[in-house]
A and B are shown apart, each in its own frame.
Chain A
Amino acid sequence: SYELTQPPSVSLSPGQTARITCSADVLSKQYAFWYQQKPGQAPVMVIYRDKERPSGIPARFSGSNSGTTATLIISGAQAEDEADYYCQSADSSGTWVFGGGTKVTVL
């Protein structure tokens, strides 16, 4: 089955840059999407189609896709960015899948 692999956790200090990776065998042929989820809340899309940022999402959020690895970058992280982050993509049949999630701690 198609799987997306993320690191379980990332810790950083305020103002530092976080890089969250999402790996798969054939990520280069599909777009990657990223969602932020805070405790008790529904997810919010922060990056779509590898690197596009929805309106209202701060410019410190960016994304890239190098082939088999997509990366979410939080430049100059703030305390409010502490959350779980999930990557999402699709396999060749159009079935969507989420990565296992990465807990970002800003302290």
Chain B
Amino acid sequence: QVQLVQSGAEVKNPGASVRVSCKGVGYSFTSYGITWVRQAPGQGLEWMGWISGSHTNYAQKVHDRVTMTTDTSTSTAHMELRSLGSEDTAVYYCARVNVMWQTFDVWGQGTMVTVSS
């Protein structure tokens, strides 16, 4: 069964960094990209960026604070966000990108990141 399994919830202090993981299961991990999307409480979806092979493209809003990587040996993608503020409190989703069709066709279960002192 194709799925993306994300790491558990995180609570961070303002100014800290967080790293969220996303493991691809049941498919050829290197044949697809991974995108990251977040959703603040009660708000809409916000695209953060994506990674495909060695290529990355980040949203302007977070480009100076985010790094997306993949570890093909473990079929896992990672998203690190630095200098956290309260506005970064959100559920973070990873999704598989079918590069040919530009679709986000499989989503992870989401990881809640809470930024609070």
A residues within 8 Å of B by Cβ?
Answer: 1, 31, 33, 35, 37, 42-45, 48-49, 54, 84, 86, 88, 90, 94-101
5 A-B pairs with CB atoms under 8 Å apart are A33-B104, A44-B107, A48-B105, A86-B44, A96-B50
Size class of the B contact interface (CB-based, 8 Å): 20 to 34
Listed residue (A1, A44, A84, A95) with the most chain B CB atoms within 10 angstroms of its CB: A95
Contacts A42-B109, A98-B44, A98-B46 given: A1-B104 contact, CB under 8 Å?
no
Name the CB-closest residue of B to A94: B57
Pick from B57, B103, B108: contact of A45, CB below 8 A.
B103
Pick from A45, A86, A94: contact of B45, CB below 8 A.
A86
Pick from B37, B57, B105: contact of A95, CB below 8 A.
B57
